[in-house]
């Protein structure tokens, strides 16, 4: 039995990893969207007249984007980071594409430019070398911008509490210096001075440890400083930070997961509690009017989308009418003043609030479970071994409950595990209809605001719960099925 559990757990590892990879890929998609927006916004700034304020405004915008990229881990290459090996020559060729000496900048140019801007501290040393080289004068404006943006220090809001005020001040003044000393052309009167200031940023021994290249750093960065590892580290150390809520994602989830979990758990129990007796009853009366009526109405219910049912219930039962107050509350899981209630009153209040969400949550799985139960039980009742049991003289009840139901539970458990995944899409809809502050609404808000870290965290938690559910189903299966039990001793 233990061997079976271990085997199941081991099999789940690649699945979980695969899901993490898919999640990572999905979050990467945001990089493209952000890049598009960044192109538009940075373009706005540079095309206008080069008034100091406008340039600063645009650079502030770009810095914001860089912050967003860095927080989502989207500034790093996905799987392999070769930036540590960049030399001056690499950067020069990139700069030449990004800012060609004569002629119009192409699409690939802006892509190269962004690539450089997002390179972070890896590109600082080669860019410094470009700035220091008098022969590359025509590249200096672009190099200065890139240098300023690469050396720009993001303050991760997640980390800000852990930084000392001295450190914070230093970072802020550094960013200020970088922002103020960019130049758009060599014709800028302050060109020489600004160039010197920028170069001094690199030469400052305090910064130098962070910016200087070394072979060891480059090799370490190759696999470690990648988008994927960054995200995994953040995920497993609980450092995924939600910008919209200004809070760690797991803290947010910790406040809410039990609401969704409790609702789902209850709805599963209710759905099974209804569907199994119903399926048995229907199968026993197969072909009768009652069976046909049940089967057909279950079929119709099955086709009824849950968001329609939920909205209908809300429309009819949760709105005040001219006759009086609404039958059921229309939002949340407890009344506003419920904290003053006594425990039984509180529980009643909870039940009153949870009734409709539970109905909507469970009817979807209840209809399909009943249909499966009926069909499956019919299969079992036609099986040879039930005929043997009848030939032994067992009563119809003994045949059904002793033999057939137990065996059809085997299939039902597998189906139930499959239905779990459907259920996990369902709770987003139900929670959004009834404004329940659970994991589903959290995820939905995160999706609406493109809060990638929060999406990642809540999907991982949901999938984790789902996998636990599947594991439980597997264990149940092993308990019921002697074939698996004996196989794993």
Partner 1 sequence: MVEPALNAPETASAKPGSTATLEAASPMRLALLRLARTGGARFGIAVLALLLLLGTYAPFISSEVAYVWHDEHGWRYPLFTDLFNRWSYTKRHDLLFNVLALEAPFLVVACLVLGRRMKIGRLIAWSSAIVILSWIACMLPLRKQGDDWRSFWDKRAQAHATIQDYQALPPDTHAWAVFPPIPHRFDATYVGAVLAAPLDRNQETGHRFWLGTDTGGKDVLSQMLFGARISLTIGFVASGLSLLIGTLIGGVSGYFGGWVDMILQRIVEIMMCFPTFLLILTVVAMLDRDIFKIMMVIGLTGWAGTARLVRGEFLAQSVRDYVAAGESMGLSRWRIMFRHILPNALTPLIITATFGIAGAVLSESGLSFLGLGDPTAPSWGGLLEQGRENIRYGWLIYAPGLAVFLLVTALNLLGNGLREALDPKSTT
Partner 2 sequence: MSANASGSGTAVKPLLRFDDLRVTFRMRERTLDAVKGLSFAIEPGQVVALVGESGSGKSVSAMSILRLLQEPPATYPGGHIWWNDEDVLKMDARRLRRLRGGEVGMVFQEPMTSLNPTWTCGDQVDEALALHTDLGADARRERVIELFRLVGIPQPESRIDSYPHEMSGGMRQRVCISMALACSPRLLIADEPTTALDVTIQAQILELIKRLQKDQGMAVLFITHDLGVVAELADRVVLMRNGEKVEEGPVAEIFANPQHPYTKGLLACRPRLGVKRDRLPTVEDFMKAEAAKSPEA
- Strand positions, DSSP E, 197-325: 241-242, 247-248
Distance CA 147, CA 207 (A): 13
Considering CB distances under 5 to 8 angstroms, the limit depending on partner class, which of partner 1, partner 2, none binds residue 150?
Answer: none
* Site track 13-52 with partner 1 (rule: CB under 8 A), x = hit: -xx--xx--xx--xx-xx--x-------------------
Exposed / middle / buried, residue 164 (Cβ in 10 Å: 0-12, 13-18, 19+): exposed
* Site track 401-420 with partner 2 (rule: CB under 8 A), x = hit: -xx--xx--x----------
Shortest separation between residue 396's beta carbon and partner 1, angstroms? 15
User: Near partner 2 by CB under 8 A, which window of 81-89, 97-105, 235-243, 475-483?
Assistant: 475-483
CB count, 10 Å around CB of 332? 14
Asked if 67 interacts with partner 2 (CB under 8 A), we say no
Shortest separation between residue 10's beta carbon and partner 1, angstroms? 13
Phi, psi (rounded to 5 degrees) for 324:
160, -165
Considering CB distances under 5 to 8 angstroms, the limit depending on partner class, which of partner 1, partner 2, none binds residue 15?
Answer: partner 1
For 5-27, the DSSP string reads HHHHHHHHHHHHHHHHHHHHHHH
* Site track 281-300 with partner 2 (rule: CB under 8 A), x = hit: ------x-------------
Shortest separation between residue 378's beta carbon and partner 1, angstroms? 5
Sign of CA dihedral 120, 122, 128, 133: negative
User: Near partner 1 by CB under 8 A, which window of 49-57, 83-91, 130-138, 378-386?
Assistant: 378-386
Distance CA 229, CA 223 (A): 8
Secondary-structure percent of the chain, ordered helix, strand, coil, rounded to 5: 75, 0, 20
- Cβ-based nearer residue to partner 1, 130 or 428: 428
3-state secondary structure of 324: strand
Considering CB distances under 5 to 8 angstroms, the limit depending on partner class, which of partner 2, partner 1, none binds residue 319?
Answer: partner 1
Asked if 265 interacts with partner 1 (CB under 8 A), we say no
Structure tokens at 347: 């529980």
Asked if 415 interacts with partner 1 (CB under 8 A), we say no
Asked if 372 interacts with partner 1 (CB under 8 A), we say yes
* Site track 242-281 with partner 2 (rule: CB under 8 A), x = hit: ----------------------------------------
- Cβ-based nearer residue to partner 2, 189 or 393: 393
Distance CA 124, CA 217 (A): 14
Assess contact for 256 and 428: CB atoms under 8 A: no
Among 219, 388, 401, 418, binds partner 2 (CB under 8 A): 388
Distance CA 337, CA 343 (A): 13
Distance CA 38, CA 25 (A): 20
* Site track 182-221 with partner 2 (rule: CB under 8 A), x = hit: ----------------------------------------
Shortest separation between residue 254's beta carbon and partner 1, angstroms? 19
Among 52, 189, 483, 489, binds partner 2 (CB under 8 A): 483
- Enumerate residues 139-198 that contact partner 1 by CB under 8 A: none
Q: Are strands 241-242 and 247-248 parallel, antiparallel or unpaired?
A: antiparallel
Distance CA 261, CA 268 (A): 10
Assess contact for 263 and 358: CB atoms under 8 A: yes
First to last CA, the chain: 6
Contact footprint for partner 1 (CB under 8 A): 14-15, 18-19, 22-23, 26-27, 29-30, 33, 286-287, 299-300, 302-305, 307-308, 311-312, 314-315, 318-319, 330, 371-372, 374-376, 378-379, 382, 387, 418, 421-422, 424-426, 428-429, 432-433, 443-444, 446-448, 450, 452, 455, 459, 462-463, 466-467, 470
């Amino acid at each position: 039995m233990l061997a079976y559990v271990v085997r199941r757990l081991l099999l789940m590892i690649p699945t979980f990893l695969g899901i993490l990879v898919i999640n990572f890929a999905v979050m990467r998609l945001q990089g493209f969207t952000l890049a598009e927006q960044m192109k538009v916004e940075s373009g706005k700034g540079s095309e206008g007249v080069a008034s100091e304020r406008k340039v600063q405004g645009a650079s502030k915008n770009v810095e914001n984007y860089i912050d967003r990229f860095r927080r989502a881990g989207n500034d790093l290459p996905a799987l392999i980071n070769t930036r540590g090996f960049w030399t001056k020559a690499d950067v020069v060729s990139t700069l030449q594409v990004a800012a060609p000496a004569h002629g119009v900048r192409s699409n690939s140019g802006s892509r190269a430019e962004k690539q450089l801007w997002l390179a972070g501290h890896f590109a600082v040393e080669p860019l410094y070398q470009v700035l220091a080289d008098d022969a590359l004068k025509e590249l200096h404006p672009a190099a200065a911008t890139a240098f300023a943006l690469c050396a720009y220090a993001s303050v991760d809001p997640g980390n800000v509490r852990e930084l000392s005020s001295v450190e914070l001040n230093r970072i802020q003044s550094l960013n200020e210096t970088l922002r103020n000393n960019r130049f758009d052309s060599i014709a800028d009167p302050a060109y020489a001075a600004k160039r010197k200031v920028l170069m001094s940023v690199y030469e400052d021994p305090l910064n130098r440890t962070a910016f200087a290249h070394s072979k060891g750093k480059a090799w370490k960065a190759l696999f470690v400083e990648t988008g994927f590892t960054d995200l995994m580290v953040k995920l497993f150390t609980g450092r995924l930070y939600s910008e919209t809520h200004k809070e760690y994602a797991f803290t947010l989830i910790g406040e809410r997961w039990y609401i969704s979990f409790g609702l789902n758990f209850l709805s599963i129990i209710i759905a099974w509690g209804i569907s199994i007796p119903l399926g048995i009853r229907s199968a026993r009366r197969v072909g009768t009017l009652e069976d046909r009526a049940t089967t057909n109405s279950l079929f119709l219910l099955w086709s009824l989308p849950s968001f329609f049912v939920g909205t209908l219930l809300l429309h009819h039962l949760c709105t005040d009418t001219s006759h009086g107050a609404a039958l059921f509350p229309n939002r949340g899981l407890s009344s506003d003043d419920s904290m003053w209630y006594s425990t039984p009153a509180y529980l009643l209040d909870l039940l009153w609030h949870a009734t409709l969400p539970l109905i909507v949550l469970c009817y979807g799985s209840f209809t399909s479970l009943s249909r499966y139960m009926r069909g499956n039980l019919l299969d079992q009742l036609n099986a040879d071994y039930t005929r043997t049991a009848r030939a032994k003289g067992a009563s119809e009840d003994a045949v059904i409950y002793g033999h057939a139901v137990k065996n059809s539970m085997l299939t039902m458990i597998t189906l139930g595990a499959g239905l779990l995944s459907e259920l996990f899409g369902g709770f987003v809809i139900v929670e959004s209809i009834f404004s329940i502050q659970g994991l589903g609404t959290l995820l939905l808000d995160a999706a609406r605001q493109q809060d990638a870290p929060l999406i990642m965290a809540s999907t991982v938690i949901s999938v984790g719960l789902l996998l636990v559910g599947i594991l439980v189903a597997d264990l149940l299966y092993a308990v019921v099925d002697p074939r698996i039990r004996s196989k794993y001793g």
